[in-house]
């Protein structure tokens, strides 16, 4: 059963709601998960008493895989803190070496660095001060963070776009192409520690659309990999407020479907269900409406590279936001598990030059309708209690 039928049935949910005495208007009005979105409203506010807390209140808005928010902060003072990774928040099926989790921590550190400039501080970041983890992350610190006040520091202009940067999974407008100039501005935002490139037309754009579509379809059709995502889906306001992380399926429409049992975790995981088929259709829509791609490569693949890729991804995403462009990472082909092997080889053949060079991030670009921010845990819940 395809989307048309699904929508037809979904349309009848209005009748069901009416029959059960629930006004549609009032139902819709109550569906925004206000508490889960609060960190977007309070970032940088005066309730954060010191420069470190203020900078951290922005850093928790960083993009990160499956919105796991794996950061744990040990506050040492108003200007000093240590970042570790919450090992309960990894993605073992699709990110077996926590490469992407580490990239997300890089995004966090870059956002902290940008936010520090707001109060005239330079963030001095020392990565892996007790040694770099190998194949698996461990409890050792990811970074020591020290904020140093410097009179000549001015606010980084990228900071102004933080509250407007959201991963946008909508279909992108295929009537609006992206200029080479805009692409140039975006890749230029990356740091010199990485290789950033992109494409906005021609056969390579088409090839990447197909490749990202195929990889994402294969991930959804891999029961173990897809179950990892399904387990992290938060359906409706109550679930989102209880666990403001993971993949959020909110809004009045989706909640209504959930209410009539058309959008449950079981339905989503069942390849014969209409919800599953709609999910597959959405994959096509996302990949095939990409109007450009950017990618961030590193010459090797150690933990420093992964952090640097994350730091650059955050800057690139903010620059895209500043130009009014939507962006969505399409990471499946970069992932290191068996189902992805041929896509992984293909994407590396297409986008790298030397042996050992790694594509760390691949994201689509385009113009699209805006999306809502995604939920976040409050900063206070991410601070280590001693
Ligand atoms: C390393 C990394 C990989 C990601 N991969 C994907 C992806 O494949 N598909 C996707 O839709 N979002 C992807 N994301 C985006 C996250 O899901 C998103 O950042 C998170 O849900 C928080 O939402 P926000 O970016 O709107 O704040 C990725 C983010 C990072 C940092």
**Selection from 145, 114, 113, 116 nearest residue 129 by Cα:** 145
pLDDT < 70: residue spans in the chain: 1-29, 386
CA angle 10, 16, 22 (to 5 degrees): 115
Give the Å distance between the CA of 329 and the centre of ligand 1.
Answer: 6
> Taking the domains of the chain in order of start, what are their residue ranges?
34-160+373-382, 164-233+284-366
Rounded to the nearest angstrom, the distance between the alpha carbon of 345 and the centre of ligand 1 is 22
Rounded Cα distance, 335 and 93, in Å: 10
Residue closest to 171 by CA, chosen among 254, 284, 316, 320 = 284
- Nearest-5° angle of CA 382, CA 385, CA 386? 150
Hey, whose CA ends up nearest to atom 6 of ligand 1? 329
Q: Are 280 and 6 in contact (CB under 8 A)?
A: no
Burial level of 41, CB count in 10 A (0-12/13-18/19+)? exposed
Superfamily per CATH, domain 34-160+373-382: NADH Oxidase (3.40.109.10)
Distance CA 262, CA 249 (A): 13
Give the pLDDT score at 23: 57
Q: How far is the CA of 66 from the centre of ligand 1 (A)?
A: 6
- Structure tokens, 119: 């109060």
Domain 34-160+373-382 shares a fold with domain 164-233+284-366: yes
Cβ(309)–Cβ(298) under 8 Å? Answer: yes
Q: Which of 63, 90, 212 to mutate to test the pocket of ligand 1 (most atoms within 8 A of CB)?
A: 63
| Cα separation, 282 vs 219, whole angstroms | 13
Atom of ligand 1 nearest to the CA of 286: 11
Q: How many helices and strands in the chain, by DSSP H and E?
A: 15, 10
Query: Does the C-beta of 329 come closer than 6 Å to ligand 1?
Result: yes
Helix (H) or strand (E) holding 380: none
Q: CATH fold of 164-233+284-366, please?
A: NADH Oxidase (3.40.109)
Which residue is associated with the tokens 């995403």? 317
Largest CA distance in the chain: 65
């Amino acid at each position: 059963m395809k989307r048309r039928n699904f929508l037809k049935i979904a349309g009848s949910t209005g009748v069901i709601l009416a029959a059960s005495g629930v006004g549609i208007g009032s139902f819709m009005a109550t569906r925004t998960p206000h508490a889960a979105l609060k960190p977007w409203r309070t970032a940088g506010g005066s309730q954060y008493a010191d420069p470190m807390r203020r900078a951290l209140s922005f850093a928790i808005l960083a993009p990160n895989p499956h919105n796991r928010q794996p950061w744990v902060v040990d506050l040492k003072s108003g200007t000093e803190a240590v970042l570790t990774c919450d090992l309960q928040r990894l993605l073992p099926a699709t990110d077996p070496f926590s490469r992407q989790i580490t990239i997300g921590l890089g995004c966090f550190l870059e956002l902290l660095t940008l936010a520090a400039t707001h109060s005239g501080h330079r963030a001095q970041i020392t990565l892996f001060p007790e040694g770099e983890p190998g194949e698996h992350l461990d409890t050792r610190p990811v970074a020591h963070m020290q904020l140093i006040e410097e009179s000549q520091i001015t606010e980084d202009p990228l900071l102004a776009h933080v509250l407007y940067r959201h991963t946008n999974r909508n279909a992108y407008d295929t009537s609006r192409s992206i200029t080479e100039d805009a692409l140039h501005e975006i890749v230029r935002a990356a740091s010199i520690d990485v290789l950033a490139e992109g494409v906005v037309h021609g056969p390579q754009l088409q090839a990447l659309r197909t490749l990202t579509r195929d990889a994402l379809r294969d991930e959804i059709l891999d029961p173990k990999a897809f179950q990892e995502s399904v387990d992290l889906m938060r359906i409706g306001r109550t679930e989102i407020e209880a666990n403001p992380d993971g993949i959020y399926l909110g809004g009045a429409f989706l909640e209504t479907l959930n209410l009539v049992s058309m959008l449950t975790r079981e339905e989503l995981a069942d390849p014969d269900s209409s919800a599953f088929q709609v999910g597959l259709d959405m994959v096509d829509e996302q990949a095939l409406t990409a109007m450009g791609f950017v990618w961030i490569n590193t010459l090797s693949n150690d933990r420093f590279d992964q952090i640097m890729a994350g730091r650059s991804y955050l800057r690139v995403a903010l620059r895209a936001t500043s130009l009014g462009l939507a962006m969505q990472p399409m990471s499946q082909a970069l992932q290191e598990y068996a189902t992805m092997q041929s896509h992984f080889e293909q994407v590396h053949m297409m986008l790298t030059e030397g042996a050992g060079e790694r594509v760390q991030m691949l994201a689509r670009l385009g113009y699209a309708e805006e999306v809502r921010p995604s939920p976040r845990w409050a900063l206070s819940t991410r601070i280590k209690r001693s």
